[in-house]
Structure 1
């Protein structure tokens, strides 16, 4: 049985000319199966899903057929969704009822003014005629179906009170409320940690089996595709360039575009260089002299750092609560290396990075810089010394769009750090900006353009150029490729690799994607609940993980290989990050002091101990 049959779909936008976003796309989704539509940003994936849901704007003109049939209903007829008025009663009856959608970013897709219970129950009240009490009870049932930890409390919770993974579960519960025949999942796991992503994928599989529904999966992540899809449709510039079963696509790709996409995916233990679809040629000589310091010498030393934050009071007479975001962390960052800092959201990665940036002083312990006059505690820096340190350490942000001022041109964005630190004359700054554009592989003709007119990869390269404007020694990269397509991600990763190797740059690379860290990092530090649980060389940690939390992270990484599927049975929700649930000898009970034990040369693992502080895992 076929639930959705798309035939020769064409979508054109008629505004200041005609733009054909989808050009003759055809595919079918059988009942109970998952079809993945893959491609880069701008290829037309989301436009196809919006055409099915009737969510396209008025300027979009649709031709072709979108045939939908729900065979679970007795006497159901085939409906051509392309011919239904998008705001008509018939389309509204289907949208959210028989066809549901999960959007990419759960925080922006959920109303911040309404509780989770009200938002999920709304579908039942609109499409099933439930009263408020019935909708509330049905909402609890759906929250149980999606494995919410406490459904009775969750119905009265607001989105900002939930983690990213729980917000996405709420979105799935909302989509499942009316038990649809077809679920459209538009990049449902892009912004999630690997462990949460794996749980969401397992959840989608379980719900699909229980309800017998079909899934249209929109994604650019081939690891997700390999673990979810029965059939794959590859889209390029609005056209289908290849289509087939998952086994055919992964084992015998034929179209050059598909082959290029697969070669751009980082995998574990890669020996060859990533091959982006559009390689860039950075002019590395534009940076000037390589950074000073002999490779391998310590540059930054983190010694028993603790950072606590004061939280809001629970009530008028309640004592203030504190959150320990970093708990006795020690490590060093050596000149010319890339230290990968990995862990789930809330593990303390970004807080640790901000402490190294000197965004705030640690509650106890120290972060020190190696200077010609010896080690200097960053907390002791002020005035000119602090300004000099800020020039030596720069940050590359996660989101390349929100981190760039939309009112400033590319030229002004890259020049701004030099203006703030009063570096060079106006002519020298202009020349430096042009050199930096060449350094990151961008055409100097783009200097007058604004961020909105650049692609995601171009924006991220502008962010890297801005970070390099002051010729820093250390780049702190906070999830710099998590929001990028695989092909653009390969561009940026290769650029960062070349810059580190040729310019003796030092990186602290914060990420939750262990495959990306494996490609880029020389050493890996794993954090969980503010603690450092494992530290060692990249190959030692990836090939021989000692700590159960590290093992869980590696187990949860989806591989773009059909012969290495995710082991969903090993994905025990939440227990991998619970120190009291770790097996011996790693279990940490409340009050126990963690210490770093050297299992192999340079390979440290966290375990309970009686020492007053953690061993310096230099």
Structure 2
């Protein structure tokens, strides 16, 4: 049975820290309540401002003249020397698509969180005017935002895996989005779920509805969340990097869906690094950053893009001097348990089917394939984060070759230093209570590489190497942009000086300049340390230029 470890637990397993076990009485989880616990107390109202409570349904029900009107937005994170966003204005008309573009860390995600009332209480958020779908949201308290979200503003986050409850099925998520107040029987709402999933292009809606988040692909998670976001026909849809980790065909399907929603009258604010994607949507471009906002005319909608052919290494691909194999994979099989018609007889789906390859020292091996082909599962299996049904993986260590899948206990914790994984969703991989500096220093201390003081010094150096400033060291994951979180996750993986680095879409959340900077860093470390890299990416240019070999995964097999 393929059991997947997710989120922080998976990351702590990689660095060798203790993970709670079923018989660990002090740390194991309790039984989930049948219904939700009472809501936490609402955050304090903004100082000096009036408070609008949840009594806004009458305003929400009014037909909006525009989807969004924002004036003078200012966002400052606790301890930051300068605001992340200052004096930002934005208008989105009904049926209009606006693309927010800018460098990683320029404040795009900070704007999105402000439009949803999701900033932490320690973050200073102020604006002169905020109207969403005709409702005044400038001074809403927590209860008011709960009434507004879903009804007038929908949200498609950058990391879909972090936005889905791992204990709930996709059906439960959609039902909650349709009827958050539980005003009607659950069975009545559940009848609509397959139709809602089919609306966003999920053909196997019945299977996906019964599945949990870890049992479906990234593209399927993205579209399931989109079904939740539009469940109650919001006036404004905020979308954060919707195609950063999707293959070309799936990205095109998401783009077509967004175009259709705009034609139906939904205002859409899209955060993206991909200007071509913004032009495909016919979006008006608004640049976010320290420079003055740059508004351009709406772009004409482009015809559907043709999926590119699978990339092959170009003549200039960095072949290097491939060394002796550090990883030998033979006939690897991974099966996931799927919900069946009866809970005692779950179905089993083969995700990887007899995968074999070798990875040499100093080699960069690219793996491509459509969403759902098994790429992320392969990396998770190589990192020992999912159970392997059959096959063998041999890892070359300084002490000699070992059977990687047979290691247990202290031997496994020691060997994890040599194999590190950078997750596709960095928000899932970082402890929400840890600062960036502590997240990077933790594996150094856990593996006994250095004392805490020296570990902190090395962590600061790694922050600089991945392009982050000293002020980022004290920030927690929710105070970082998607690109900044991705770089923290990369620095954390490099901290143990691994022999094998597994990269799952490592540059998807980065702009072009930072992508090149991070890739140059990886290639320099590869040359200096003889690092072997397995790179999973949907970017054909990146794979062609940076990988000596490229393998195509299709339905769990190498084509």
Q: 2:537 aligns to what?
A: 511
**SS of the counterpart of 2:356?**
strand
Instruction: Report whether the alignment pairs 1:43 with 2:43.
Output: no
237, 251, 254: which one aligns with 1:200 = 254
Mind listing any 5+ residue stretches in structure 1 that lack a counterpart? 70-78, 251-266, 274-293, 534-618
184, 191, 194: which one aligns with 2:238 = 184
CA 10–376 in structure 1, closer or farther in 2 if over 3 Å, else same:
closer
Deviation of 1:35 after TM superposition, in Å, equals 1.2
Deviation of 1:185 after TM superposition, in Å, equals 2.4
- 1:131 and 1:430 map into 2 onto residues whose CA distance is 54
- 2:235 and 2:446 map into 1 onto residues whose CA distance is 58
Deviation of 1:314 after TM superposition, in Å, equals 5.0
- Between the two proteins, the alignment pairs up a number of residues equal to 479
Give the TM-score, by structure 2 length: 0.65
- 2:440 and 2:476 map into 1 onto residues whose CA distance is 9
- 1:54 and 1:412 map into 2 onto residues whose CA distance is 27
| Structure (1 or 2) with the larger CA radius of gyration | 1
- 1:341 and 1:506 map into 2 onto residues whose CA distance is 14
Q: 1:242 aligns to what?
A: 294
- 1:82 and 1:519 map into 2 onto residues whose CA distance is 47
Deviation of 1:232 after TM superposition, in Å, equals 0.3
- 2:149 and 2:143 map into 1 onto residues whose CA distance is 11
Instruction: Report whether the alignment pairs 1:213 with 2:266.
Output: yes
218, 229, 233: which one aligns with 2:286 = 233
**SS of the counterpart of 2:288?**
strand
Deviates more, 1:330-339 or 1:450-459: 450-459
Deviation of 1:15 after TM superposition, in Å, equals 7.6
- 1:354 and 1:92 map into 2 onto residues whose CA distance is 36
Q: 1:121 aligns to what?
A: 178
Deviation of 1:235 after TM superposition, in Å, equals 0.9
**SS of the counterpart of 2:373?**
coil
**SS of the counterpart of 1:9?**
strand
Contact 1:309/1:322 (CA < 8 Å) preserved in 2?
yes
- 1:60 and 1:471 map into 2 onto residues whose CA distance is 38
The equivalences for 1:203-602 within 5 A come to 203-209=257-263, 211-237=264-290, 240-245=292-297, 295-300=321-326, 302=328, 304-309=330-335, 311=337, 314=340, 322-353=348-379, 356=382, 364-368=390-394, 392-400=418-426, 403=429, 410=437, 413-414=440-441, 416-417=443-444, 420=447, 433=458, 437=462, 440=465, 464=490, 467-468=493-494, 471-484=497-510, 486-533=512-559
Deviation of 1:495 after TM superposition, in Å, equals 0.8
- 1:184 and 1:108 map into 2 onto residues whose CA distance is 17
Deviation of 1:477 after TM superposition, in Å, equals 2.7
- 2:206 and 2:547 map into 1 onto residues whose CA distance is 43
Deviation of 1:233 after TM superposition, in Å, equals 0.2
CA 418–314 in structure 1, closer or farther in 2 if over 3 Å, else same:
same
**SS of the counterpart of 1:188?**
coil
- 1:463 and 1:9 map into 2 onto residues whose CA distance is 33
Deviation of 1:532 after TM superposition, in Å, equals 0.6
Mind listing any 5+ residue stretches in structure 2 that lack a counterpart? 1-63, 303-310
59, 81, 94: which one aligns with 2:136 = 81
**SS of the counterpart of 1:11?**
strand
Deviation of 1:305 after TM superposition, in Å, equals 1.4
- 1:382 and 1:54 map into 2 onto residues whose CA distance is 45
CA 26–488 in structure 1, closer or farther in 2 if over 3 Å, else same:
same
- 2:440 and 2:262 map into 1 onto residues whose CA distance is 47
Contact 1:2/1:29 (CA < 8 Å) preserved in 2?
no
Contact 1:120/1:170 (CA < 8 Å) preserved in 2?
no
- 1:448 and 1:182 map into 2 onto residues whose CA distance is 34
- 1:419 and 1:390 map into 2 onto residues whose CA distance is 11
Contact 1:105/1:191 (CA < 8 Å) preserved in 2?
no
**SS of the counterpart of 2:239?**
strand
CA 28–417 in structure 1, closer or farther in 2 if over 3 Å, else same:
closer
Q: 2:96 aligns to what?
A: 33
Contact 2:128/2:138 (CA < 8 Å) preserved in 1?
no
CA 41–125 in structure 1, closer or farther in 2 if over 3 Å, else same:
farther
Deviation of 1:236 after TM superposition, in Å, equals 0.5
1:36-78: CA deviations, max 9, x gaps?
1122455343454455556667875644445677xxxxxxxxx
**SS of the counterpart of 2:550?**
strand
- 1:358 and 1:133 map into 2 onto residues whose CA distance is 39
Report the structure, 1 or 2, having the larger strand content. 1
- 1:485 and 1:401 map into 2 onto residues whose CA distance is 18
The equivalences for 1:148-159 within 5 A come to 148-149=202-203
Contact 1:308/1:322 (CA < 8 Å) preserved in 2?
no
Kindly indicate whether structure 1 or structure 2 has the higher relative contact order, using CA contacts under 8 Å at least 6 residues apart.
2
Instruction: Report whether the alignment pairs 1:11 with 2:74.
Output: yes
Contact 1:11/1:22 (CA < 8 Å) preserved in 2?
yes
- 2:435 and 2:140 map into 1 onto residues whose CA distance is 41
- 1:158 and 1:472 map into 2 onto residues whose CA distance is 32
**SS of the counterpart of 1:517?**
helix
CA 519–123 in structure 1, closer or farther in 2 if over 3 Å, else same:
farther
CA 115–235 in structure 1, closer or farther in 2 if over 3 Å, else same:
same
Deviation of 1:349 after TM superposition, in Å, equals 2.9
CA 433–199 in structure 1, closer or farther in 2 if over 3 Å, else same:
same
**SS of the counterpart of 1:172?**
helix
**SS of the counterpart of 1:491?**
helix
- 1:195 and 1:108 map into 2 onto residues whose CA distance is 23
Contact 2:331/2:355 (CA < 8 Å) preserved in 1?
yes
